[in-house]
Structures are given as C-alpha cells and as structure tokens.
Structure 1
Amino acid sequence: MKRKQFLALAAGAASLPLIAACGGSTGGASSTAAAVEGEIEPRTISWLLSRPANGAVIEIMTALAEEYAADHEGFSLELITTPDRPSYIQKYETLAAANELPELFDTDATPFAAKLNAAERMVDVEDLLTQLGVLEDFRPAALDYQRFDDGLLRMIPLEFGVEVFWYNKALFAAAGVEVPTTLDEMVPLCEALAASGVTPIAVGGADAWPLERYVAYQPFRIAGPDYITDLKRGDAAFADEPGSASAAWLAELGEVGAFQQGFSSVGYADAQALFTSGKAAIYNMGTWELPNLATTELPAEMHEQIGFFTLPAADGSVTGADEFVAPSGIGVAVNAQTYDPLVRDFLRFALERYPEEYAKSGLLGPTSIDPVIPDNALPIYQEAIDVAAELGEATLMPWDTQLDPSTNSRLQQELVLLVQGDITAEEFLTTMDDTLAKNAPKYFED
C-alpha cells in the first residue's frame, strides 16, 4: 500500500470510531487505577513501542519481565516493535481506531492521545504511581512532560534528558567562528562553516522530528511555551510573529546550506555518524546519546574537540538560558480496557526495580537516582549530566507532540520544502495556517 493511501486510511479510521468504539466498552479500569481487583492470572501481555532494540529501556524491561515470569508461570511480555517513529505513529493510530491496542503502548501527550483519554482508554497513571508508592521518586519535570494540557497524567516516563547542540571545536576554529549567543547568529555561523568546506549541521531528516525541533526554537524564545498551546488549538496562527520569525529563520538557514545535502532522506544513525566522523560541525541531540557522544567510543581525534551549548537566546527572549527542551521521551500508556491485576502487579514489580537498573546504564533517568558514569566517559559526560540539575521552569514542548496528526504531518513535509528553498516563508505560513484551520477543530472542540 502506498504511503498516501495508508495515511488516508489511518486518518479516516481514526477520526470517527475512536470515541464510539470506547464509549460502549465494559470492563477495564475506566481511566482509573483503583478499579482493579481480583486474582493475578499470568498470561502474555503486549507492549506496542518504538524504541531502539539495543537501548537501555528495552533491555531492562525485557530482563525484568523474564525475572517476573520466573515467579509467575505463564507470564511473558511481548514487544510489538516499529523502530522508526513515523511508521509507529501510523500503526498506533490505526490500532487505536480499530480498538485493538495492547495492554501497554507508547505515546506522547498528543491531541490524538487526549482523544483516547477522553474516551476512557487510558489508565490514570498519577493514581497508579501513587498507589504503588513510587510517584514521589519521579522527577517532576519528567512527569510534567507526559501531562496533557489539563494536567492529567496518563503516561509513565521511562527516560529523561536534556537536548543540547553538540559541536566540534576544531571545525569552529578552522572556520573562525564562536559559539552563538542568539539564534540569529546561527545563520552567519552556518554560512561560515559551509564556506570552510564542512556541513554546518547534521540532521536526521528521514525521522522528521529532528528537523521539526528547529521550527519551535524561535517561538519558544520569543513567546514562551504558550504560543504552541494556543497555536495547536487555532487560537494563534503560524503567521503570527513567533511563527513568521521561525519560518524566516529556517528559510535563511536553508539559503546558507546549514543542513547536509539530501538531509530529508538521511536517517538518525547516519546523521550522528556525520558529526562524530568530523564531517559536520553541529549536531542537535539529547543526553540519551551520551554513550556515543561523550565517551571513548568517539573517534580519538574527537575526544578533545567535542563540546556543547544550550539553546541560544533571541532578541527580547521571554524564556531563560536554562529553559529549553528537556523531554522524558515517549511515555508508556496503560490500556484501561485490558487493565487487570496482572498488568498492575507487573508494573509494580517493574517500576520498583527499573530506576536503579536504568541508572546503571549511565543515562539520566526519570527518577532522582543519579546515573552511574561509565569508566570510559570523557569529562564532558558529567558536564552534560549537570545541565539537568540547573533547569528552569519553562520547558519547550516539541511540536510533534502538540499538533494534531494531520497538521503535524503537513508541517514535517512543508519544513523540508522550506529549508530546501522549494517554497517561500510566506507560502509555508499560508499553507500551514490553512491546514491548521481545517484540522485543529477536530481535536480541540469546546
């Protein structure tokens, strides 16, 4: 099936039956963790997810499931994996529309997920974590990242990190440039880097979200987090000052060749390799990549050259230097319709053990347990970890977690065209406002 045909099918399936399919549901937890009673009857439970197969989350949860199974004969945890995020979202939304989501499923606090919650398809995670006695162990920022606009918590965070701009000091020096203090300075910075013969910024365009991060930067600095909250509901426009500033900035970055040629088809791993091999000067990525970016796994010539800077300011910034993207990753939702004593007991077991095991991976986790710094860490490893302790109150929410599915999909397509110079900033803004007006009311009706 062609991609456009699949997207149309998924969108059509997701729009109407979503509420109706759940409204007549019987059993399950009805969006609360308190409604489950009875004996624990082991069986296979499934988890629909999109995470690296060799990543700490999957490895730890798999090991914990095997340990749990040793004392609960007949139990197993089946992982339904779709590694790339766009394909995962298609599968997730299609299964949701068909009322076939498994016991656990990955999701951000998107408008689509909010629809599921309104239809009582998601267990109250704040209630669940409170009952299990682990709520206070979690970082408030990790929990807040998973909340809907009304403050409801329906996803369990299994990760946490801060996003920074990694850069190659030697390439900066060769181009005669310094770390930018404002977003506008990134345009001449990238122009100078490109003129020196290197790729200024490595970005995994094939995964869509890395490029989409950039569209949120100017608005967050100019107007703070409220802009995207208003925008996604249609109460603000892309053509308003924050959005128009962003479009103009991205067009300028495209004009000076800020991103590598063919960036729209470059995957996550290849973009990272472009930076770690010394062929690109900047790589915008989170601390979940510390093992690859801040240890002796880096090529030796990079050990003394790796640095990072946080999101630069903008003229008249309303957010502080200590406020930027600090995500707790895609969260785990618990299907209220299949929630039972077994699911609850497994989560109790896993969440009691998970934080300490995750800390051993050397990564910042969703709880207050400090990560174990690996023996092969470079000094910058601890420096990046320390950034998390200095975070301000405002958090930049990635736009792919905020916009309705149709508007977000169109935004990702139009961003590529904008940066490539195939459309103007004005055309971009007009298209996006038309798309928003058509689709936002379906998700944000009063």
Structure 2
Amino acid sequence: MNTAPQARRRAWVALGVIGAATIALTACGPADSGDGGDSAASDGEFTYLGQTQNTTIVGTLEALSADQCADANEAAALSTDAIDGTTWDQQLQVLAGNNALSDMSMAGGTPSLMQEFIDADLVVNLTEELEALGVSDRILPAAESTLTALYGDGDLYALPTEFNIEGFWYNTQLLDEAGVDVPTTWDELADAAAALKAADIQPFVAAGKDGWPVTRLVGDYIFRSLGADALQKVADGEASLTDPEYVEAAEAVAEFGRQGYFGDAAGSIDYNTAMNQFLTGGGAFFYMGSWALANFNDPEQNQIGAENIGFAPFPAVEGGAGSIDEVPANAGIPVMFTTGGWDDGSAAWLECVAQGYGDVALNEFGQVTGFVVDNPPADQPALTTLVQDTIANAPGSVLWFEAKFSPEGTSVSQTNGGGLATGNLSGQEFMELVQAGNEG
C-alpha cells in the first residue's frame, strides 16, 4: 500500500484480502507481562513498525514527536522502521512468534489475524487504556463501531489513523437535467435510475471488472433491510447467504444490471476507468469511498467540478430493520499497540496520539481519520468538510459485504460481482456461489 489514492492500494485496504498462513499464536505470549492493566516504567524507547509503501502514519508520528508529543518522546524516544507491505500479515506472524512485535505497528491486514492476536493477548485493549487516560472521547463513534465490529470482540484494539465512509457520490448537473431528486430509499433510487436512463444518462458508474464496488451494494442493502448484525449472523452460522431475505439484496442489484443501469460495458470497467468516467460526466451516481476525495479535489482529474458533486448515504430499504444513519465504512490502515512493549512510555504516546493525531494528519497530509479534529485547515475543500461532518455525526457504522468472509469467499464474491452489474448472474446464482466459496 501507499498513501496515494491509487486503485490497487485502495482495493487492498477496502477489502482486506491479504492471505496469511496460520500459526499457533496462543503459545507465544508477550515478551513482558502486559495485560492492559498497570503499566511498567518506560524503557526509554517507543518503537513503530509500518509498511514502506505508507509514509503518512510515520510522518504524522514524527511531526507529533516534535510538538504535541514532545514530552512523551522525551520519556520514550520514537524509533521507526518499515518493511515491505506485500506480505505484511505473514511478517507480522513471524514477529509475533518471536515475541518481536514493535510497541506500535500497523495492524494485521485481515480481521482473522487480528482476532488471533487478540485471543493470544498480544495487543492492548485500547478501550480500557483510553478510558484510563481520559481520552476515549477522542475516537469518533462511527470509527470505533467500525473497528469493534471488524474484530468482533466488542472492545477497541486498534486506532483509526484513516477512516473512509462510503456511499453514492452524484453529479448534481446530471440529476438536475433528468429532473431527479436525491433518493433516500431504494425504491426512489430505482425510480431515479429509470428516469436517468430515459434521459440518455447512464445511471451508475461502477468498476464491474474489480467486482467489489458492486458487491458493496449487496452488503449495504442487506444491512438496510436486515440490520447491522445481518452478516455477522452469516459468519456465526445463524443464517446463510442463500436465505431468501439475503438473496433479495443480490437480486435487487442484479435487476439494476438487467435494466442496463451500469452501462453496456460494466463487466470490463476497472477502478481507474470508472473514476475517470464519473469525473468526466459519464454517469450520474458513483458508489465509492471517501478515499476518492483526492481525485475529486484534483481539478486536472475532475472535469465536472467539485462544486457539482454531492454525497448521499446508501438509501433505506422500506420496512427494513437497518438505519440510513449507519454509514458504510472501513478504517483503512488502523494501528495497534502490543502488550509485550506496553509501559508508561507507550501509555504517554497513546494519550498524545489520541489527542493530536487527527489534526496533524489532516493539516499536514490531508488524511481524514477517525479521531476528533479540533482545528481543520482554513482552506479545506468543501467535499472534505462534508465527509468529516458525516463521520462526526454518524451514530454508528456498518462494514462491507466481504468483511467477515473467508479468503475464498471473498475471492468468489469479487470475481462474480461484475456478473450482477451486467445482468449475467441472478441474485440467487450469485449468493449460491459466494456461500459455497465461504464454506469451501
């Protein structure tokens, strides 16, 4: 990964699909006895390990060390290192097996690996420590709910150094041309799509070749219709993707595909092509994460003008158990603190990171995080402010479709997502494939 909003990096972050060989973590406890309780005196060093492809986190930490975290840095001097991120999970496992995890590092790329670390008591319970330090209110509720849901423990074990919301970005000029209002329900979205197509405007832009932008719609429909815990029930074996109420979601998206709402070549459109298509006026709605702000705010890429882009949350499903206020989100690149190195120095760093990371990351690197921001840039683009306000006001969040899937289930879902956009797969066929892949 790298800090630029490139498609390859973003897809990896959003989907979290790096494979990792499993090791017996429960046999390797932390190097020092760290249980998230009383901390020991600082050893004079605070180590951070990141990926060479990402410079935003280390850059923010270095900026903090010279300013807001100067006292923490004096007690435990920041020491940073980086390794290649292409095999990140595997390398984390090796370090864990040798009791060599850094005091703070980028978290595991897959939720399953983080759950192994949690079960093996290798990572600090940040809910407890943030409360003890009196800074738990520095984490935005939507970001906290995303991470607690992702790792399934109910407590916070990583910090949201990046936070992305997802939803429908739309071209205001094209909606006005077709006389379409911003939809708040799925039925209104379907009516809007029909009106746009009748006006010779492509309703939706989507990277059907990549698959995941289409499967996001399936997952969001499920959350709106069945509630925020619907896919956790699938992961727990209490429900199946082939149950009629789950198939309904995939079928709703497949119907849009059969109607041609994603365009004639939906299955061959990749991320970069889809981004360019939307920013040159080639479609009305574009489901995407807020990482696309870098593209939207770049006048060389954005030919329709940032002032002509709006954002709408994924619509409600009438009669559904979910809430339109629960924003689909992912935490991008969270960071964890390890129990093996937990001491007074780590606690001091945790406190100042919670207090100041959000402002420094935004002002110096343009990175939207899951931390409270006290002083946003005076010249901040309007779309960035819109995203920040949405995050700050969201009472909770929901994950993406594949967040709780096995690696095989994730692969099957992404591979076949484009078939929904082209209308070549029915909702029933898609869900049967993904369910079988999840069980394989």
TM-score normalized by structure 2?
Answer: 0.77
SS at 2:379 equivalent:
coil
What residue in structure 2 maps to residue 33 of structure 1? Answer: 36
2: distance between equivalents of 1:24 and 1:382? 45
Q: Post-superposition shift, 1:171?
A: 1.7
C-alpha contact 2:196 2:203 (8 A) present in aligned 1: yes
| Residues 1:424 and 2:420 aligned together | no
CA deviation vs aligned residue, 1:360-395 (integer Å, no higher than 9, x gap): 3676543333452542634x6555544345434x53
Q: Post-superposition shift, 1:329?
A: 3.9
What residue in structure 2 maps to residue 130 of structure 1? Answer: 131
Instruction: Please point out which of 183, 203, 206 is paired with 2:206.
Output: 203
2: distance between equivalents of 1:246 and 1:195? 24
Instruction: Please point out which of 75, 78, 82 is paired with 1:79.
Output: 82
What residue in structure 2 maps to residue 240 of structure 1? Answer: 243
Read off the aligned partner of 1:426 and give its amino acid letter. Q
SS at 1:244 equivalent:
helix
CA distance 1:96–1:422, change in 2 (3 Å): farther
Q: Post-superposition shift, 1:318?
A: 2.1
Read off the aligned partner of 1:13 and give its amino acid letter. A
2: distance between equivalents of 1:110 and 1:340? 26
Query: More displaced, 175-184 or 423-432?
Result: 175-184
Unaligned runs of 5+ residues in structure 1 are 1-9, 83-87, 439-446
Matches within 5 A, 1:57-96: 57=57, 59-64=59-64, 75-80=78-83, 82=85, 91-96=87-92
What residue in structure 2 maps to residue 47 of structure 1? Answer: 50
What residue in structure 1 maps to residue 312 of structure 2? Answer: 309
Read off the aligned partner of 1:27 and give its amino acid letter. A
What residue in structure 2 maps to residue 387 of structure 1? Answer: 390
| Residues 1:13 and 2:21 aligned together | yes
1: distance between equivalents of 2:432 and 2:199? 36
Q: Post-superposition shift, 1:344?
A: 4.8
CA deviation vs aligned residue, 1:197-245 (integer Å, no higher than 9, x gap): 5543333557664333212122112111121110111210112233211
CA deviation vs aligned residue, 1:375-432 (integer Å, no higher than 9, x gap): 2634x6555544345434x532223333333322322223233334443322222222
2: distance between equivalents of 1:73 and 1:335? 15
CA distance 1:301–1:235, change in 2 (3 Å): closer
Unaligned runs of 5+ residues in structure 2 are 1-17
SS at 1:399 equivalent:
coil
Read off the aligned partner of 1:410 and give its amino acid letter. V
What residue in structure 2 maps to residue 413 of structure 1? Answer: 415
2: distance between equivalents of 1:262 and 1:358? 36
CA distance 1:255–1:231, change in 2 (3 Å): same
| Residues 1:212 and 2:215 aligned together | yes
Instruction: Please point out which of 293, 307, 310 is paired with 2:296.
Output: 293
CA distance 1:35–1:385, change in 2 (3 Å): closer
C-alpha contact 1:48 1:102 (8 A) present in aligned 2: no
Identical residues among aligned pairs (%): 24
| Residues 1:120 and 2:121 aligned together | yes
C-alpha contact 1:206 1:266 (8 A) present in aligned 2: yes
Query: More displaced, 425-434 or 94-103?
Result: 94-103
SS at 1:428 equivalent:
helix
Instruction: Please point out which of 334, 355, 359 is paired with 1:356.
Output: 359
2: distance between equivalents of 1:428 and 1:178? 31
CA distance 1:29–1:208, change in 2 (3 Å): farther
Read off the aligned partner of 1:93 and give its amino acid letter. D
Query: More displaced, 214-223 or 369-378?
Result: 369-378
What residue in structure 2 maps to residue 403 of structure 1? Answer: 405
What residue in structure 2 maps to residue 277 of structure 1? Answer: 280
C-alpha contact 1:296 1:377 (8 A) present in aligned 2: no
Query: More displaced, 236-245 or 20-29?
Result: 20-29
Instruction: Please point out which of 204, 227, 231 is paired with 1:228.
Output: 231
Instruction: Please point out which of 371, 375, 385 is paired with 1:367.
Output: 371
Read off the aligned partner of 1:186 and give its amino acid letter. L
2: distance between equivalents of 1:332 and 1:44? 13
2: distance between equivalents of 1:226 and 1:49? 36
What residue in structure 2 maps to residue 4 of structure 1? Answer: none
Matches within 5 A, 1:99-110: 99=95, 102-103=101-102, 104-107=105-108, 110=111
CA distance 1:210–1:277, change in 2 (3 Å): same
C-alpha contact 1:237 1:433 (8 A) present in aligned 2: yes
What residue in structure 2 maps to residue 5 of structure 1? Answer: none
Read off the aligned partner of 1:139 and give its amino acid letter. L
For this pair of structures, how many residues does the alignment match?
411
2: distance between equivalents of 1:287 and 1:214? 16
C-alpha contact 1:158 1:331 (8 A) present in aligned 2: yes
CA deviation vs aligned residue, 1:87-126 (integer Å, no higher than 9, x gap): x5xx343334445584212347834422321122322222
